[in-house]
Chain A
Amino acid sequence: MRVVIVEDNVLLAEGLRLMLELEGATVVAVLHTAEEFLTTIGEHAPDVTITDVRLPPAFSDEGVRAAAEARRRWPGLPVLVLSQYVEHVYSAELLSQGAGGVGYLLKDRVSRVDEFLDALRRVASGGTAIDPEVIAELFRRQRQNSPLERLTAREREVLSLMAQGHSNTTIAGLLTLTERSVSKHIGNIFTKFDLPPDDSAHRRVRAVLTFLNS
């Protein structure tokens, strides 16, 4: 797996490089600004880019903006955004461009190496990885008349794992269910969200978006 890291903090950048290289990935380049990211990502052609949210010069949300811009220029370009804190506004922005290949995780998740690499691989192969904290926050606000209200407790669990980006097989493993019942739950979620039949990968992202924007 060829990875580009966009991170201005040397400690964090080197930590990430160390971890990725020990785990068998190739770090093609470590970039320090959003501008570098946008101008050189074409030539590096990585399988996935990891970017921090805060980058020079203003240290606000350059990373999120650059990721969105890069994905406008190269649709489907896999980008994993890492942040010191999560804000569902950003995850909705990142996902709103449709196609998968997007991740948005707390920096803390790096310490769970297996889970982190799993998320990174999912993003590289066009899937999604949304931080559990974003999803927990969305479940915390219980709106009247939100489509979430119509879901059963089990369906919520399934949706939350699906939103994080897990496949049916992993969801089945994590909830100790059969894959058949997982697909049944997902079918119910699609129906309750009024999502018309469509190819299933697309529908998954749309279900997650409905959830993020609910």
Chain B
Amino acid sequence: MGTGVDEVLTSLHRACLGSRQLLSGGPTALLALVAFVLTAAALASSPPLGALLLPVAATANRKVATRERRRVGRLLGTPVEYRYAPLLDAATPAGHGYARRWLTIIVRTLAARSTYQDAAWTAVHGLLGTALIALVPALWAAAIAAVAAVPFWLFVPGTSAAWLLPTALAPVTLLVLRSLPTFAHAQARLSARMLAEPAQARMSARLVELAETRAGALAAHSAELRRIERDLHDGAQARLVSIALRLALAERRMTSDPVLAADLVGQAREGAEAAMGELRDLIRGLYPPILADRGLVTAVEALAARSPVPVTVTVDARTAERPPAAVEAAAYFGVSEALANVAKHSGAGQATLGLVLDDDRLVIVVTDDGTGGADESRGTGLSGIRHRVAAFDGSLALSSPAGGPTVLTIRLPCTAEADPL
């Protein structure tokens, strides 16, 4: 008995879920249908007029398709993305009048693969999607009729047995209702497939991105080399020269003027101490020793402990592997900069730092309860971190509405192997 009730409840649950999922495609299906019919009508009635209106139709299709991508991305759990080529941008000649501009747009529309992809999808989704949506109320009506027909046939005299047809078909209705989630998923997969960016386009976009990353990495590395060279040259190296000079003088005056010699040796020692301090600072800026000794988690905790604003640290390390040293350093300096900004500018009383580390990525989120309104362009710190992170194909996102809260997110891939896509 219990299993029977369970069975009915499961069926009902699946039927409701499937209906909801299918109906969520309703708006895009109807819009696609309208777009398809209008485009077809425009092209059929007057091809020149249709061609003129083409960009309008293509733009409308892009909007509907984008909406559908978001919907099926949510439903399937894997985002469906598409980088459209812009139809109009700064490169479009502006001073040549409307006709030229419109022509450019038409040419671009015709050249874009997405135009045909979207159009094919509006046809399929407009017809199939609408049909599927219509199926939902029809099925529920059939189910209700199947139950209602029995008392009707029993108690209303003169009712023909034909009225019992819905009841006879009940098993089929139930089966279809139960399968609605499967339909919804199949339909979503079809949309996702038709609307997916072609692998080649994805590759070339990724290639552009990687080329930029590589250029950024080169620039960052060169700047770093120059900075180290300058620091060593102006700092420790110059100090050593002056120490050697003082020691040589002291050596010559040792017997003739011991007081002067002792003074020179003292100056040499002070110079050596200063050089040690400078080298220590330089090393800290390259690869902080605590990071080398204890790893990122302890190093970040030490940074948080040093912050004047209390920071709550949560760590979710799903792997025992340490990220590559350069990635750890980028993450460390990111956190250091973020916490320095919290202390200096945010006016926050509390901050949190979340660190997630798994096999292929490292995510750091720093949140504070301050006044917000952080502006990356005002200082050099954050943009420095952005470049550093970008050099490793990572990203930095800053959200800081006036009134707060400020959320800084740093993502860094940390696989050692190359991952082109």
Contact = CB atoms under 8 A, between A and B. Distances in A.
Contacts of B280: 84-85
B344 to A, nearest CB: 13
A60 B292 CA distance: 7
Task: Give chain A's interface residue range (CB within 8 Å of chain B).
Answer: 10 to 19
Nearest to A113: B269
A143 B289 contact: no
A85 B276 contact: no
Contacts of B277: 108
A84 B276 CA distance: 9
B273 A108 contact: yes
B284 interface: yes
A61 B292 CA distance: 9
Contacts of B290: 87, 89
Contacts of A143: 308, 310
A44 to B, nearest CB: 26
A176 interface: no
Contacts of A144: 310, 349
Contacts of B308: 141-143
Interface in A99-147: 107-108, 111, 137, 140-144
Nearest to A145: B310
A143 B311 CA distance: 11
Contacts of B419: none
A61 B294 contact: yes
A141 B310 CA distance: 10
Contacts of A60: 292-294
Given A108-B277, A144-B349, A87 B284 contact: no
B272 interface: yes
A89 B298 contact: yes
Contacts of A85: 280, 283-284, 289
B290 to A, nearest CB: 5
A53 B269 CA distance: 23
A151 B310 CA distance: 19
What 4 pairs between A and B have smallest CB-CB spacing?
A60-B293, A61-B293, A108-B276, A141-B308
25 contacts: A54-B293, A60-B292, A60-B293, A61-B293, A61-B294, A85-B280, A85-B284, A85-B289, A87-B289, A87-B290, A87-B302, A88-B305, A88-B306, A89-B290, A89-B302, A107-B276, A108-B273, A111-B272, A111-B273, A140-B306, A141-B306, A141-B307, A141-B308, A143-B310, A144-B310
Interface of A: 53-54, 60-61, 84-85, 87-89, 107-108, 111, 137, 140-144
Given A87-B289, A89-B298, 19 more contacts: A53-B293, A54-B293, A60-B292, A60-B294, A61-B294, A84-B280, A85-B283, A87-B290, A87-B302, A88-B306, A89-B290, A89-B294, A89-B305, A108-B273, A108-B277, A137-B306, A143-B310, A144-B310, A144-B349
